Structure 1
Amino acid sequence: MIEVRIESLAFGGDGVGRHRGQAVFIPLTAPGDLVHCRVTERRRRYLRGELVELLEAGEGRCRPRCPVFGRCGGCHWQHLDEQTQQHWKERLFSDILRRQLRRDALPLQPLLAARQAWNYRSRVQFKCHALKEGMAIGFFRRGSHFVEAVDHCAIAADAVNLVLPWLRDQLPQVPRPDRVPQVDVGCDDHDRLRLVVHDIAPAGAGAGPRLRTAAEDAGWALFSQSGRKQTLRQLVGPSELEILVDEPPLRLGYGPGGFAQVHLEQNRQLVAAALEMLRLQGDERVLDLFCGMGNLSLPLARRVARVDGVEAHAPSIEQARKNAAVNGIGNAAFFVADAARFLRQADTSYDLVVLDPPRGGARDVTRALLSHRPRRILYISCDPMTLARDLSPLLGQGYRLLSARAADLFPQTYHLESLSLLEAG
């Protein structure tokens, strides 16, 4: 057992202190805490520990809302008040960029803070485990695949939480509840619900037929999935959920297996911040890579000469084309393609390239951007480490960073989104 004063937070959520010159990483601690911890891992340069006793509470510590916080792996920072969370997200983003890019002076803007810090998640993956006494439905326990059952999720939207008692009642009645490992639940800006039941039971013993009538009675859309996205099967209800972005609102549908940000209100703020950052003139030709169903492509199309959207997931491109038509937007075209390959083969010069890649970043796209050399690049990232990795070659070969801003789309966790605007020198 060792005593540690927590000095800061690390990207990943752990509190960080020092013991005999070594950094100590301890989950569920707050800056200013004095704690007793048990060492769980010893490395040459650092230790990892688990909190045993809180001796003194740091200034930003608060009481978590969720009774299973600390066991459930979904949230990292419910023990920090909102102001402390926002401070550290802004600081971690700044520290990572400065350290990884080896630059002290960066044009960083204030954090785009979340207006809604609770009951915001519009999409949740409920993990399921069949027990003799019923179904355990909730989330994986921190660091394991043990299902921590929950009665209510403090960060899930109210509409999503409505599904939990329904699942506890219905799933034990299906032929093979032990073959239902997960149920995806999503809601939209109209509180309509869509469920995707992951069902790996043998043919004829699936949960879908048993749940179809109950879902229809509840007024919810229901799909089953037995493997990858290609196995999605519609059982009842409409396939699309609909979100609203921009002003006046664009109505954007997205199907099961498609992507939309989980914080719908913050997504609107993010799109608005991106448009403000770009200060568009109206004559630009824009390429939107990893465009999904048009979340940013279509607001951009309202303000520029032309937008080409590129996405490798074909159903998302079909949805983007439909969304453009529904909203009366005729200056946007969408293509199913690998982002880097499309950029390398493009015979059109673009004034602006927007990219919003998955967490792994876009290393190949960065190389293609150096060959294509658009005048401006807007990089939307959900991981500051891969963002810094991808920005580094651009900044080293003629681009300059005009602005960078972290955005809080995931309150109660350490995760953050960000916007970075670059211009060719």
Structure 2
Amino acid sequence: MANMSDYIDDLHIESLAYGGSGVGRYAGKVVFVPLTVPGDHVQCRIVRQKKRYIEARAERVLVASEHRIAPACPAFGQCGGCQWLHLPYAEQCHWKETIFRDFLVRKLDVDSELVRPIVPSPQQWGYRSRVQLKCLNTPKGFLVGFYRRGSHYVIPVDHCPILHPLLNQAKDLLRSWIENTRWSQFVSQIDLAVDDQERVRAVVHCLANDVDDFVTHLKPGALSANMGLFVQTGRKHNLQHVCGPVELLIEVDTPELRLGYGPGGFAQINLPQNRAMVREVVGTLVSNPPGRVLDLFCGMGNFSLPVARLAQEVVGVEAYLQSIEMARLNARLNEIENVSFFAREAYGAATEYGADGAIDLVIMDPPRSGAYDVARELVTVRPARILYVSCDPPTLVRDLLPLLHNGYRLVWSRPFDLFPHTHHTESITFLERV
């Protein structure tokens, strides 16, 4: 039995922290408590003590905050996908903007007025156009869902309210095709995606020896459902096309560009919000069109091709060859000729491209780990302007520091909510060389 000293009898939750936990104070330390809401009074158990903070688990809500609502998903609290389903959406946006602004003001010492208001998602539910579903075959059946918070234990999910309705349907179909077959024990993951034309693509990860028989088993169902289907037997290059569309199409910019991306490629999971971010980038540049542009981590041309309509020349760089091939195809299909794409690492590209002349604009859209090495390289290359698209405020702040300390100023930064009901925040930050 736990010692009562391991408990905090009545903790008042004052705010929210990046990561989604509620924040209170006890014995001179900050206390982080997941699944709580500002205004809650909770009894909680201490699970970890550090020198400056405490991590705790709420055991009982003594007084519920006026902002607390009933979560729309029965898996909330177990599934690791959403952190804020018990908080009204307007409150979620308030705290995302507050947390993001606090990061930039505290860590970078920038004026809070340079952080623009958050752009809320036009859809709270059914917005997610891509998902990785975890699978586990058990004596109780074939489970399809998400990992439990802080573990690799699969929580089955019958209906995920943030998934596009067609992805919920596809999930149920694939589960019915796989369960009670000899292949169910070999399927570890299913990747689903839907595009702006509402076409669905599935990638089933299967390590069975008789994968050809598995393909034969799945194909009739996928054909009848008009589903694009792939089976993956290891890394991305071990990908077998079974039937249906290979590329999915997303729409950006005005006049409309249609951009395809293949299995294993990247597109934002919230397509309307992706269009909003492209509009923000293009709107920033339209009054002062760029000359030479370098787009790092360009993917299939999501920003490169809209910006190329304004710029003299655009070079896009991406390490994943298949995405570069799609970017080249997207440029041809949309009849954009002043853009070139190269499969290579982002680091070193600015130095190489800058050797041929001054770079007017660098666009960066790195993964969650950020691009600190590239940021330090840009200090030397010194492009006139930088647009940094980030999905992680801590790495954004880390990467901006060397730039702000070496001749750049932050003109503005704006958070975008691409991930309602989670703590995640996307952002665009605009820098100019002083």
Smaller-chain TM-score range? over 0.9
CA contact (8 A) 1:379 1:419 kept: yes
Report the Cα distance in structure 1 between the residues aligned to 2:211 and 2:304, rounded to whole angstroms: 43
Name 1:369's counterpart in structure 2.
Answer: 378
In terms of mean alpha carbon deviation, does 78-87 or 281-290 score higher? 281-290
* Alpha-carbon displacement from aligned partner over 1:288-345 (angstroms, at most 9, x marks no partner): 1100001111111112212111111110010001011111111111111111121122
Partner of 1:390: 399
CA distance in 1, matches of 2:45, 2:424: 26
Q: Are 1:338 and 2:345 counterparts?
A: yes
Deviates more, 1:273-282 or 1:285-294: 273-282
Q: Which runs of 4+ in 1 moved over 6 A?
A: none
Amino acid at match of 2:432: E
Equivalent residues of 2:44, 2:57 under 8 A apart: yes
Is 1:221 the counterpart of 2:228? The answer is yes
% of aligned pairs identical? 49
- The residue aligned with 1:423 is 432
Aligned counterpart, 1:269: 276
Q: Residue in 2 aligned with 1:239?
A: 246
User: What is the aligned partner in structure 1 of residue 285 from structure 2?
Assistant: 278
Give the stretch that moved more between structures: 104-113 or 1-10: 104-113
Q: Count residues in correspondence.
A: 425
Where does residue 325 of structure 2 map in the other structure? 318
Are the aligned partners of 1:98 and 1:106 in contact in 2 as well (CA < 8 Å)? Answer: no
C-alpha distance in structure 2 between counterparts of 1:362 and 1:106, whole Å: 26
- TM-score after normalising by structure 2: 0.95
Contact 2:286 2:310 in 1 (8 A): no
- Displacement of 1:173: 4.3
For residues 133 and 205 of structure 1, the distance between their equivalents in structure 2, rounded to whole angstroms, comes to 27
Please report how far the alpha carbon of residue 421 of structure 1 lies from its aligned counterpart in structure 2 after TM superposition. Answer: 0.6
Q: The residue matched to 1:181 in structure 2 has which SS?
A: strand
* In structure 1, C-alpha distance between the alignment counterparts of 2:140 and 2:78, rounded to whole Å: 21
Partner of 1:62: 69
Q: Classify the secondary structure of the residue corresponding to 2:117.
A: strand
Q: Does 1:208 align with 2:210?
A: no
Task: Indicate which of 150, 160, 172 corresponds to 1:143.
Answer: 150
Aligned to 2:22: 15
Q: Is the 8 A contact 2:80 2:147 kept in 1?
A: yes
Given the alignment, which residue of 17, 40, 58 partners 1:33?
40
Q: Report what 1:48 is aligned to.
A: 55
In the aligned structure 2, how far is the partner of 1:367 from the partner of 1:132? 53
- Please tell me whether residue 177 in structure 1 is matched to residue 177 in structure 2: no
Q: Is the 8 A contact 2:290 2:361 kept in 1?
A: no
Deviations 1:367-407 (CA, angstroms, capped at 9, x unpaired): 22111111100011011111111111111111111111111
Contact 1:26 1:51 (C-alpha < 8 Å) held by counterparts: yes
* Cα-Cα RMSD: 1.4
> 1:198 deviation in Å?
0.5
Query: What 5-or-longer segments of structure 2 have no aligned partner?
Result: 1-6
Shift of 1:261: 0.1
SS of aligned partner of 2:14: strand
Instruction: Write the deviation string for residues 65-97 of structure 1: whole angstroms up to 9, x where unpaired.
Output: 111111111101111111111011111111111
Pick which of 133-142 and 276-285 moved more: 276-285
Matched-pair contact (CA < 8 Å) for 1:225–1:231: yes
| TM-score, normalised by the number of residues in structure 1 | 0.97
**Alpha-carbon contact 1:71-1:141 (below 8 Å) kept:** yes
Q: State the one-letter code of the partner of 2:294.
A: L
- Distance in 1, matches of 2:137 and 2:430, equals 48
Name the amino acid aligned to 2:373.
Answer: D
Q: Mind listing any 5+ residue stretches in structure 1 that lack a counterpart?
A: none
Q: Which moved more, 1:125-134 or 1:284-293?
A: 125-134
